[in-house]
């Protein structure tokens, strides 16, 4: 079984937000509207967050793309009272929308703030509604449940199905999430962390590699390459 | 064979009549309760978006209410169970009044969690899919056991008095007599019954004491088990527990003063009780201060980045007004009042106790909100903000109104002072009259 | 027997938690029911407490 992980090169990222847009279309996250977004209620499975150090004129800004970290030791799973959030055998942290009771303990516990709550039933403008992704994994979520980045599990399933249809064995390189595919600066890498020869595995061991809040022991599977 | 109590008439007097004033009060409280129910329905239909909660403040006033009401509930158990074990016989007249607070605030504490859920109709998933690693399951276990045990503890000590009502209140409406008949379980005041009752109550008191500690510690672990700054501390359990007992004991003073005034029970609920409670309250307020200092000094001395953000936000930032206001309400003013004005003065005691409870609600708020507003991702996400919206306010008011309503109705149908526990003579044993109605000072 | 594995499985799976809640609450209900019966039955000569083996002596 592969152990999926991601590496994001901060030197290459120029914060174009195409990952955020691609994620939205791939995963059917509803547009929040200005008021709701102002309250911090926008659902963005992937966000590009500005990390600003110092004050003008001595400012150093780092743009930090932030998907779910898919921790090996996730804080969210420990606190879920009904196992609505779980880690599958390939290390992906997923949510069962039919079981979630909406207590929001996972959103409170996640130190990376990657989990989003559906404050209202999701709505789309008519034009967008026609272009929703039809995959079963990303059907619009009901109000009152928590959702988050899945590393595009539906793409993983489709890649497996394609490989099977073509009569070949599935390779770890057959599948990438939408944000990785779309990344304009080729800043994102994706693959099997357990395969020592994979590109992600090599990059994750680079001296530039770091993980967010390493000290919390959550063992994230998203690595960043330091800005040089 | 009945227990002999000089104050029987006075204690039973409120049970005999429901006045127009009562109906007006009940109506008003019921209206508030219904307004809250309406707000909840609205929230159920629209979604939790109609509240002020957002990202990163995923928990707001509902969770504050949850902690507060569960804390308030600790009053009864403290007075009747812990003081029973300690052999403090002065507590006898106020046991039931205190336990009633427990009984009537618990449903609103537990209910607040359900109100806070995005999918309350999926509550049974907790039983079907319960995963014991989650602190929420610990809460469900502890709170439901506590609720059940409180009901039983309360009911057991009520049985002899229900039997008295059954025998004495023969002019009550038919349904009411039928209710006493059923609830009394054929109690006939035999000495053996009283002995067994005392035995069971003594045993349960030990168990209840254990439950009090467990329940509020587990409540605090909802926060303590996360790695969020300001919550992730071993002190949070004892701190919550002490706060709970403080606010509970303060609530007992308020209720006692009201009962005394409204139902003319000055003789039974004598001034000596307030003086005893006053000493307890001084101890608890100082204990609370000790916890407060221990907690904040440890955090402040270490200067850990994320912790300091939350701490400075409380001390001198966005939440400074609430924080210092809370400190004045829980500690500053009440301590002065208890020390210098409270003795033999019910008015001042009530004033201070109202402040303590206002302050304790704010304390729960100030533990929960600032941590959420300044998450670990603060540097990139920016600070959050939170203000309760209309539904949250309506539901909070409804919780308090509901509790008052249950209390008001209960006191019109059952004696709020335990007749048999304050009796001068009890069948079976020479129940030495330990309740001195004398108005004593310290 | 792998005790550690059992404990791990208990905390890590959906289901056992609900069973614990039901057992605790259900068990308490049963105990309280019999305690109440035991107390009240002291006053009735007709029906001795069924769960009590020893005959209680009147004071």
pLDDT in tens, B190-222: 888 888 888 898 889 899 889 999 999 999 999
Task: Answer whether B136 sits within 8 Å of A109, measured CB to CB.
Answer: no
Please tell me if residue A178 touches chain B, with a CB cutoff of 8 Å: no
Query: In this complex, which of B54, B119, B137 lies closest to A144 when CB atoms are compared?
Result: B119
Q: Among C16, C18, C41, which would you mutate to test the B interface (most chain B Cβ atoms within 10 Å of its Cβ)? A: C18
* Chain C stretch 9-48, residues whose beta carbon is closer than 8 A to a beta carbon of chain A: 13-14, 17
Please tell me if residue A81 touches chain C, with a CB cutoff of 8 Å: yes
Coil/strand/helix, residue B347: helix
Omega prior to B77 cis, within 30 of 0: no
Q: Report CA-CA distances (Å) from B435 to A22, B269, B432.
A: 76, 10, 9
DSSP symbol at B426: B
- Helices within A113-167 (DSSP H only): 126-129, 153-165
Distance from CA of C10 to the nearest CA of A (A): 13
Query: In this complex, which of C14, C16, C58 lies closest to B192 when CB atoms are compared?
Result: C58
Chain-centre distance for alpha carbon A86: 15
pLDDT of B437 strictly over 60: no
Query: In this complex, which of C14, C24, C39 lies closest to B193 when CB atoms are compared?
Result: C39
Rounded CA separation B67/B73 (Å): 10
CB A139 within 8 A of CB A121: no
Pairing of strands A47-53, A60-66: antiparallel
Task: Answer whether A145 sits within 8 Å of B381, measured CB to CB.
Answer: no
Rounded CA separation B39/A61 (Å): 44
Please tell me if residue C54 touches chain A, with a CB cutoff of 8 Å: no
Chain-centre distance for alpha carbon A143: 20
pLDDT of B440 strictly over 70: no
Rounded CA separation B97/B181 (Å): 23
**Chains that contact B by 3+ CB pairs under 8 Å?**
A, C
Please tell me if residue C12 touches chain B, with a CB cutoff of 8 Å: yes
Query: In this complex, which of C10, C12, C43 lies closest to B187 when CB atoms are compared?
Result: C43
Distance from CA of C33 to the nearest CA of A (A): 30
Query: In this complex, which of C17, C22, C35 lies closest to B131 when CB atoms are compared?
Result: C17
DSSP symbol at B52: S
Q: What is the pLDDT of residues B336-377, one digit of tens each?
A: 998 998 888 888 999 999 999 999 999 999 999 999 998 888
pLDDT of B319 strictly over 70: yes
Please tell me if residue C24 touches chain B, with a CB cutoff of 8 Å: yes
pLDDT at B284: 93
- Residue B435's pLDDT band (cuts 50, 70, 90): very low
pTM across the whole model: 0.91
Query: In this complex, which of C24, C25, C38 lies closest to B196 when CB atoms are compared?
Result: C38
Task: Compute the count of residue pairs across chains B and C with CB atoms less than 8 Å apart.
Answer: 101
**Chains that contact C by 3+ CB pairs under 8 Å?**
A, B
Whose CA is closest to A112, among A189, A218, A39, A2? A218
CB A81 within 8 A of CB B126: yes
Distance from CA of A83 to the nearest CA of C (A): 6
Please tell me if residue C23 touches chain B, with a CB cutoff of 8 Å: no
CB B333 within 8 A of CB B356: no
Please tell me if residue C43 touches chain B, with a CB cutoff of 8 Å: yes
* Average pLDDT, 10 consecutive residues per value, chain A (228 residues): 93 91 93 87 90 84 90 93 93 94 93 92 90 92 94 93 93 92 93 93 93 91 90
The whole-chain average pLDDT of chain B stands at 88
Please tell me if residue C29 touches chain B, with a CB cutoff of 8 Å: yes
- Residue B6's pLDDT band (cuts 50, 70, 90): confident
pLDDT at B171: 83
Task: Answer whether B380 sits within 8 Å of A116, measured CB to CB.
Answer: no
């Amino acid at each position: 079984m592969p152990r999926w992980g991601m590496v994001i090169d901060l030197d290459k990222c120029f914060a174009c937000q195409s990952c955020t847009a691609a994620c939205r279309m791939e995963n059917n996250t509803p547009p929040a509207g200005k008021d709701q977004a102002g309250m911090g209620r926008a659902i963005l499975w992937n966000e590009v967050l500005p990390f600003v150090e110092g004050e003008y004129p001595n400012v150093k800004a780092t743009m930090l793309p932030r998907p779910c970290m898919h921790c090996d030791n996730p804080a969210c799973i420990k606190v879920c009272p009904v196992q609505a959030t779980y880690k599958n055998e390939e290390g992906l942290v997923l949510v069962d929308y039919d079981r979630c009771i909406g207590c929001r303990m996972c959103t409170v516990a996640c130190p990376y703030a990657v989990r989003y709550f559906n404050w209202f039933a999701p709505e789309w403008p008519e034009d967008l509604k026609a272009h929703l992704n039809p995959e079963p994994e990303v059907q619009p979520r009901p109000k009152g449940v928590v959702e988050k980045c899945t590393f595009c599990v539906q793409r993983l399933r489709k890649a497996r199905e394609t490989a099977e249809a073509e009569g070949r064995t599935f390779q770890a390189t057959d599948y990438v999430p939408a944000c990785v595919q779309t990344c304009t600066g080729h800043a994102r890498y994706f693959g099997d962390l357990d395969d020592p020869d994979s590109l992600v595995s090599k990059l994750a061991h680079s001296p530039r590699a770091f993980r967010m809040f390493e000290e919390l022991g959550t063992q994230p599977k998203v690595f960043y390459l330091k800005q040089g | 064979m009945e227990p002999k109590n000089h104050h029987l008439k006075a204690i039973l007097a409120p049970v005999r009549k429901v006045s127009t004033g009562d109906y007006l009060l009940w109506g008003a409280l019921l209206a508030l309760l219904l307004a809250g129910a309406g707000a909840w329905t609205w929230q159920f239909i629209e979604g939790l978006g109609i509240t002020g909660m957002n990202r990163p403040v995923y928990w707001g006033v509902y969770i504050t209410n949850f902690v507060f009401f569960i804390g308030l509930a600790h009053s009864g158990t403290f007075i009747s169970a812990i003081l029973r074990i300690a052999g403090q016989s002065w507590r006898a007249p106020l046991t039931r009044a205190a336990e009633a607070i427990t009984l009537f605030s618990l449903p609103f504490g537990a209910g607040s969690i359900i109100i806070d859920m995005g999918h309350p109709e999926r509550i049974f998933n907790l039983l079907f899919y319960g995963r014991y690693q989650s602190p929420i399951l610990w809460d469900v276990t502890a709170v439901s056991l506590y609720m059940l045990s409180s009901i039983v503890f309360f009911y057991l000590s009520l049985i002899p008095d229900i039997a008295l009502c059954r025998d004495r209140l023969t002019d009550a409406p038919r349904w009411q007599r039928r209710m006493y008949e059923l609830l009394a379980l054929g109690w006939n005041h035999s000495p053996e019954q009283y002995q067994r009752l005392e035995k069971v109550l003594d045993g349960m008191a030990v168990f209840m004491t254990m439950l009090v500690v467990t329940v509020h510690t587990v409540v605090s672990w909802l926060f303590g088990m996360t790695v969020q700054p300001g919550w992730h501390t071993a002190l949070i359990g004892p701190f919550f527990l002490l706060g709970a007992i403080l606010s509970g004991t303060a609530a007992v003073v308020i209720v006692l003063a009201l009962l005394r005034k409204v139902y003319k029970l000055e003789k039974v609920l004598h001034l000596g009780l307030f003086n005893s409670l006053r000493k307890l309250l001084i101890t608890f307020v100082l204990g609370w201060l000790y916890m407060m200092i221990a907690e904040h000094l440890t955090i402040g001395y270490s200067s850990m980045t994320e912790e300091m953000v939350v701490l400075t936000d409380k001390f001198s930032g966005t939440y400074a007004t609430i924080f210092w206001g809370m400190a004045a309400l829980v500690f500053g003013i009440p301590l002065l009042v208890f020390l210098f004005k409270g003795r033999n003065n019910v008015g001042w005691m009530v004033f201070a106790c109202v402040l303590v409870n206002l302050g304790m609600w704010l304390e729960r708020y100030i533990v929960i909100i600032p941590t959420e507003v300044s998450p670990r991702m603060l540097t990139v996400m920016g600070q959050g903000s939170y203000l309760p919206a209309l539904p949250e306010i309506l539901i909070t008011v409804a919780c308090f109104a509901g509790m008052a309503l249950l209390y008001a109705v209960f006191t019109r149908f059952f004696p709020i002072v335990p007749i048999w526990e304050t009796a001068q003579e009890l069948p079976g044993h020479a129940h030495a009259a330990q309740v001195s109605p004398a108005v004593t000072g310290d | 027997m792998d005790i550690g594995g059992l404990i791990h499985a208990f905390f890590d799976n959906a289901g056992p938690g609900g069973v614990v809640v039901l057992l605790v609450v259900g068990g308490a209900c049963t105990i309280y029911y019999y305690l109440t019966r035991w107390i009240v039955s002291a006053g009735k000569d007709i029906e001795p407490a069924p769960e009590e083996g020893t005959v209680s002596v009147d004071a």
